[in-house]
Amino acid sequence: MKKIIAVIVLAFGMVFSVNAQDKMQKNALNTISLEQTPGEFTQKQITVPEGTYVFEIANNNVGHDVGFVLVEKGKDISKPENHIKTAYVTQAVATGKVQTSKPTKLEKGEYVYFCPLNPTATDNTLTVK
């Protein structure tokens, strides 16, 4: 059977890569691409359906390594035990580079994301419907 791959580019530069055959399966894997610039993420609010995602983090001339932290909204972001560890990039993202996280299952709810290495706002919101 021939595989069909679809790529959808949404507002704010977010990219979802969906394999059409896997779309019907619960374990379909999608990519959320986020870009960091000095002091901020260029995407401040994102809404996605429930599913399993890989976070792809780009460092756009920040001038030093960056990272990525995802936490359920309402939990203390300063406590590492509240971080969704699979959403961490697998290695620090150097200037001009891109790194990805491990697959992360997102259930309905609200999450906040930030970078501990690039002082970004901690009110960037990811909503899962």
Residues of the chain with pLDDT under 70: 1-28
Quote the strand ranges of 1-129, DSSP E. 5-9, 15-19, 29-37, 40-41, 45-48, 51-59, 69-72, 98-100, 104-106, 109-114, 124-128
The Cα 98–Cα 33 span in angstroms is 9
Domains and CATH numbers, the chain: 5-128 (2.60.40.420)
Place of tokens 């374990």: 27
CB of 28 within 8 A of CB of 50?
A: no
pTM: 0.78
